[in-house]
Copies of this chain bind each other. A is one copy, B any other.
Amino acid sequence: METSVKNLSIEKVKTSRLSEIDFDNLSFGSVFADHMLICEYVDGAWQSPKIVPYQPLSLEPSAKVFHYGQAIFEGMKAYKDSEGGVWLFRPQENQKRLNISAKRLAMPELPEEVFMDGLRTLLQLDEKWIPQAAGSSLYVRPFMFASGTGFHASPADSYTFIIACAPSGAYFSGKVSVLIEEKYSRAANGGVGYAKAGGNYAGQFYPTQLAVDKGYQQVIWTDDVSHEYIEEAGAMNVFVRIGDTLITSPVSDRILDGVTRKSILTLAEDLGIPTEVRKISVHELVEAAKEGSLKELFGAGTAAVISPIASFGYKGKDYELPELEDSYAHKLKKMITDIQYNRAEDKFGWRYSVL
């Protein structure tokens, strides 16, 4: 096992838990692979990363992660092809985005090689945890949080970075119906919406629960002022097809710059699909639904891949999307997963070989 991170130490599990896992019935992110990578930031410097058995962490009750929300994360997947080859999809994008999030939350940036080499070494070690079944993958969760202590509301002086992995099945089960939000919001102008900051997710749970109680699976967030423009979904960017044009909102300081979103845009352009990156009003969506030009609505993200949306609710009315034979969602999902699972040519150089 080669690694270029100096001093990356490896302590292997005595007994693997692999045989305890039912790989035919994987839910999303609820069982964890044998090992994790851990790297501590103390006294102004990142210490040597270690790979150790996945195990509980010991933290002071005054660790700032419990009080002031200094917590960021990333989400990726490791894919196994039919030959047993292991691949990541554009992992450098996640590495860069982690540091964008870190900066916004006044946390230290992580050196690229700790992320990339640590990730590769960890996946090589836990290679057997990567499921091969269609639609399954090893969900990879890099995250960083404030381990430094104190009740003063100011940045911590020490941090912990971890990569943990979970063999996972599909994120959504069944058809997805969404509610367009009219009251609550996810992000402020000038806020942290573009960062993968823990607090962005906690704030979504209650409004999402209200939507679930009404029979929807997800909320589509709108701007926090007029609630007239659609922004993104809980853990997905949103695409709309009106006529033959594929439209998605521009990213901003309120919207996460999704890796799936930008890959979809590139693939669509490559297919010759007309694309537009511009604001989408709820009014436009409703009008298009009424006159029949609204053909598709789908979410795009690492966890959910491409999730076609079957219907959306707005101001007490539900609007059904047609079921298309040859949908963009279907076509684009096939293209992107074929690249991810090494079943197609990698024209854009997105695949990253792990093993």
- Supposing A151-B139, A224-B224 touch, asked if A66 and B198 sit within 8 A by C-beta, the answer is yes
- Supposing A202-B197, A205-B154, A205-B155 touch, asked if A36 and B56 sit within 8 A by C-beta, the answer is no
Query: Per a CB cutoff under 8 Å, which of B56, B68, B235 touches A153?
Result: B235
Main secondary structure of the interface of A (DSSP, over half): loop
- Interface residue ranges of A34-86 to B (CB < 8 Å): 36, 54-62, 65-71, 73, 75
The listed residue with most B CB atoms (<10 A of its CB), out of A57, A146, A166, A199, is A199
- For the complex, is A350 an interface residue (Cβ under 8 Å from B)? no
- Interface residue ranges of A168-221 to B (CB < 8 Å): 168, 171, 181, 183-192, 197-206, 208-209
- For the complex, is A32 an interface residue (Cβ under 8 Å from B)? yes
Kindly report how many copies of this chain are found in the complex they form together.
2
Residue in B closest to A182 when the chains form the complex, CB atoms: B190
Please determine whether B58 and A198 come into contact, CB atoms closer than 8 angstroms. no
Once bound together, how far apart are the Cα atoms of A56 and B57, in whole Å?
A: 9
Q: Which stretch of A102-110, A280-288, A305-313, A317-325 is in the interface? A: A102-110
Please determine whether A151 and B141 come into contact, CB atoms closer than 8 angstroms. yes
Please determine whether A190 and B184 come into contact, CB atoms closer than 8 angstroms. yes
Please determine whether A189 and B62 come into contact, CB atoms closer than 8 angstroms. no
A260 → chain B closest CB, angstroms: 15
Please determine whether B54 and A202 come into contact, CB atoms closer than 8 angstroms. no
- For the complex, is A143 an interface residue (Cβ under 8 Å from B)? yes
The listed residue with most B CB atoms (<10 A of its CB), out of A56, A62, A149, A151, is A151
Please determine whether A153 and B234 come into contact, CB atoms closer than 8 angstroms. yes
Residue in B closest to A189 when the chains form the complex, CB atoms: B224
Please determine whether A66 and B65 come into contact, CB atoms closer than 8 angstroms. yes
Once bound together, how far apart are the Cα atoms of A121 and B165, in whole Å?
A: 42
Query: Per a CB cutoff under 8 Å, which of B59, B75, B235 touches A59?
Result: B59
Once bound together, how far apart are the Cα atoms of A249 and B67, in whole Å?
A: 26
Once bound together, how far apart are the Cα atoms of A145 and B199, in whole Å?
A: 12
- For the complex, is A264 an interface residue (Cβ under 8 Å from B)? no
- For the complex, is A30 an interface residue (Cβ under 8 Å from B)? yes
A354 → chain B closest CB, angstroms: 19
Residue in B closest to A28 when the chains form the complex, CB atoms: B152
A50 → chain B closest CB, angstroms: 13
- For the complex, is A225 an interface residue (Cβ under 8 Å from B)? yes
Residue in B closest to A66 when the chains form the complex, CB atoms: B145
Once bound together, how far apart are the Cα atoms of A28 and B150, in whole Å?
A: 8
- For the complex, is A162 an interface residue (Cβ under 8 Å from B)? yes
A173 → chain B closest CB, angstroms: 12
Once bound together, how far apart are the Cα atoms of A240 and B67, in whole Å?
A: 29
Q: Can you list 23 A-B pairs, Cβ within 8 angstroms, ordered by A?
A: A27-B152, A30-B150, A56-B60, A58-B58, A62-B141, A62-B164, A66-B162, A67-B201, A68-B201, A69-B199, A71-B198, A71-B202, A75-B151, A141-B151, A155-B209, A186-B188, A187-B191, A188-B189, A189-B224, A189-B225, A190-B224, A191-B203, A192-B202
